[in-house]
Amino acid sequence: MIYADHAATTKLDEAAFEAMKPFLLEEYGNASQPYSFSRKIKKALKTSRESIAACINAEPEEIYFTSGGTESDNWAIKSSAFVHGDLRAIITSEIEHHAVLNACAAVERMGFPVAYLPVDSDGIVHPSYLKENISDNTKLVSVMFANNEIGSVQPIKELCEIAHRHGALFHTDAVQAVGHLPIDVKALGIDMLSASAHKFNGPKGIGFLFVKKGINLLPFIDGGAQEFRKRAGTENVASIVGMAVALKNSCSRMIETTQKLQRLEKCLLQELKAAKLDFILNGSYLKTPGNVSLSFKNADGEMLLHRLDLMGICVSTGSACDSTTTNVSHVLQAIKVPNEYAKGTVRITLGCENTEEDVLKIAKSLEKILQRH
Ligand code: PLP
């Protein structure tokens, strides 16, 4: 099998797995207990928090462990909406993941005005679009760091500055970016950032929300005193430890992984061009490494996905969470991919385990399916 759907999820880093094992089998104590058996567990949580914070230049007490990207997004948006008991506005973009879009839709139903910023044909939220829509009545701007379908990376620093000029907070869904792109929350001015471990070779069902010190964060789950009294429930220690190891490894290998993935992308595109296939490459020149979203003229993305599957290749049509619908995704609609191309879209997301042989096989298989069609 060739796995080329790394934006959907990734394989667990073996070092992360090894680091997790003792916390599943031997060090199973509850971190909240005062006896010495729990000391190691408490220490593991502390060092994991420190290690994760260092990867994005945050402080350890600014990291809150969650169950993943969806929870982090919901927490950031709903806490910002509800915290001051007023109905000030929220601004997001048209190309967000459904974790953000549906959290915004939920607060919109409660009376909070929500504006959805458009993007250009590369999938970029221009700072000018935000300037036109923001006012001193805006309480939160939430724009993703990098898009999950087409990989476009947003001008986060500029967007942050505009939000702050109007007294609004800035949240970014960085699920596709953490561990793949350099992120310095202090230099960028980010107030809140969502991340998910399974997108950077960590375990599934664990993630974190970065919240800048001083921000009034409402508890997301009420109960015990865990996570600074903001997110109750016994900690998922093994997964937290695995997430910290996976993130550290991803960050330390970032430059070489990026170079490798860019080489593989180039090889794939050259092969497809040489075969004279008619396609559009979606996204901007600044994108997450390994993301190749292609729209083939007069093709059917669903058919391509299933034919590739029969050939042992895993890719996606649009967003992974969209795979049950056959409609053109909201992202492809927002970047206005012409209809005769949009329906024939496949998202190939390469990862560090992929090889040149893999991408040549993907290209040859696409060639075979499309030329026969
Ligand atoms: N945000 C983005 C951009 C994503 O790509 C995803 C997952 O596909 C999520 C949020 C949801 O993350 P999780 O699967 O950890 O809930």
Q: Residue whose CA is closest, atom 8 of ligand 1?
A: 8
Atom of ligand 1 nearest to the CA of 71: 16
Low-confidence ranges of the chain (pLDDT < 70): 318-326, 372-373
pLDDT in tens, 5-33: 999 999 999 999 999 999 999 999 999 99
Structure-token pair, residue 192: 């809140």
Contact residues of ligand 1, CB 6 A cut-off: 68-70, 73, 97, 99, 144, 148, 173, 175-176, 196, 207, 320-321
pLDDT at 327: 81
pLDDT at 321: 41
User: At residue 207, what is the residue type?
Assistant: G
Distance 30 CA to ligand 1 centre (A): 28
Residues in the chain: 373
Atom of ligand 1 nearest to the CA of 70: 16
Q: What is the 3-state secondary structure (H, E, C) of 184-216?
A: CHHHHCCCEEEEEHHHCCCCCCCEEEEECCCCC
pLDDT at 46: 98
Mutate to test the pocket of ligand 1, among 145, 176, 201, 330 (most ligand atoms within 8 A of CB): 176
Specify the 3-state DSSP secondary structure of 349: strand
Q: Catalytic annotation on 321?
A: yes
Beta strands in 329-368 (DSSP E): 345-349
Q: Residue whose CA is closest, atom 12 of ligand 1?
A: 69
List, as one string, the DSSP characters of 274-337.
HTT--EEEES-SSB-TTEEEEEETT--HHHHHHHHHHTTEE-BSS-GGGTT--SPPHHHHHTT-
Q: Residue whose CA is closest, atom 10 of ligand 1?
A: 69
pLDDT at 372: 66
Distance 97 CA to ligand 1 centre (A): 7
pLDDT at 319: 42
Half-sphere exposure at residue 331, Cβ-oriented, CA atoms within 13 angstroms: 28
The angle, 0 to 180 degrees and rounded to 10, between the axes of the packed helices 69-82 and 98-109 is 30
pLDDT in tens, 110-165: 999 999 999 999 999 999 999 999 999 999 999 999 999 999 999 999 999 999 99
Distance CA(67)–CA(64), nearest Å, equals 10
